[in-house]
Structures are given as C-alpha cells and as structure tokens.
Amino acid sequence: MIPIPMHRRGDAQCPTDLVLLSHPLAFIANNNFCVRRVCTEIERIIGSEALDREAAQKVLHFLNEDLPTHLRDEAEDLFPHMRRRCPPEDKIEQSITRVMIDQGAASALLPRVRKILTQCLEAPGVPTAPEAEQLVQFMTHVQRHLIAETAILLPLARVRLTTRDLQSMSLRMKTRRQFTSGDIFC
C-alpha cells in the first residue's frame, strides 16, 4: 500500500481534484463523497417548493459527465484488481456483486432521473410525487452502493492492492480522462 500524503488525500470538494489520479483509491473515495453530495442535492430538490436551478444543473452535469467515468473506474479497474488480489476469505466476489447490483439498479433508473431533472429545468418546477419517488429509488441504490464500497471494498483495496496495481489503475484512470504521462497529474 502506498501512503498518501495528507495534502493529497482530497478535500472532499466536487469535482474531485485531478491531481488525486496519482492516488486512485483516494480519487475514488473523493468521488464517492461527490456522489453523496449529489444525493443530498437531489433530496433538497425533492423537498423544495421552488427549483434551485443551479443545484439541478450541477447534479445533471455530474450525472452526465462524472458518474459514468467513475463507474468505469470501478468496473474496469478497482473490481478486477480486487478479484485478482483478494484471498477467498475476503469473500470479495460477494461484496462486488452486492455493489454491482445496486449500481445496475441505479444505472437503470439514471435515464429517467436525467429526464426528470431536465424537465424541471425546462419548465421550472419541482418533481411531481411519482417523479420524486423515482429519484428516491435512485438515491437508495446509490447510497447502498456507497456504503458497501466505503465500508468493505475500499478498506480491503488499501490492504490488498499492490503498488503495481495502483500504478496501473492510475494510468488507466488518467487515460480514461485523456491525460498523458507528460501531464502535471503524474
């Protein structure tokens, strides 16, 4: 495990500081915090009498731009490395499956969530009761995914993944974001 200098752990701000790409587990953890903040914003939108346009735009931007890449980081890098490194007693496949079930359910709801938020922005208003219920369903799956990932997967990853695994993850995550080895993020 590579220790992360305190100034590189992330500031829990959104979007995640790209410098953290050199520390992929810290980057994923900070992105998870951003996802939590998006859920909080969705809750505020549901409970509001008037739409906070700026909040709705930020949520929509995150759902369209950042979340898909974050999910790829997990599916294409974090999970495969963990499957290779974790011994059977970690029961990692069970934990990954649990996370992926909630990710899949949230992803299935994502187009509808985007549509609800877009409609609220186009014809200013708050979500209707049925729309609010769909947003709550989405948040429930997202929050369960975050709990399992934060409590089980990331702590195990910090112990099980090798320096080489983390370097590989970092490179792939940078590439996914179109950074090259000459960029300041290395």
Domains of the chain: 15-176 (1.20.120.520)
Does position 170 have pLDDT exceeding 80, yes or no? yes
Kindly report the pTM of this predicted structure.
0.83
Radius of gyration of the chain (CA): 17
Element at 144 (helix H, strand E): helix 129-148
Q: 125-136, pLDDT tens digit by residue?
A: 889 999 999 999
Please, are residues 96 and 79 in contact by the beta-carbon 8 Å criterion? yes
Q: In this predicted structure, what is the pLDDT of residue 3?
A: 45
Q: 17-49, pLDDT tens digit by residue?
A: 778 899 999 999 999 999 999 999 999 999 889
b/e 124-135 (16+ beta carbons within 10 angstroms → b)? eebbeeebbebb
CA 28 – CA 44 distance, rounded (Å): 24
Name the band, by pLDDT with cuts 50, 70 and 90, for residue 13. Answer: low
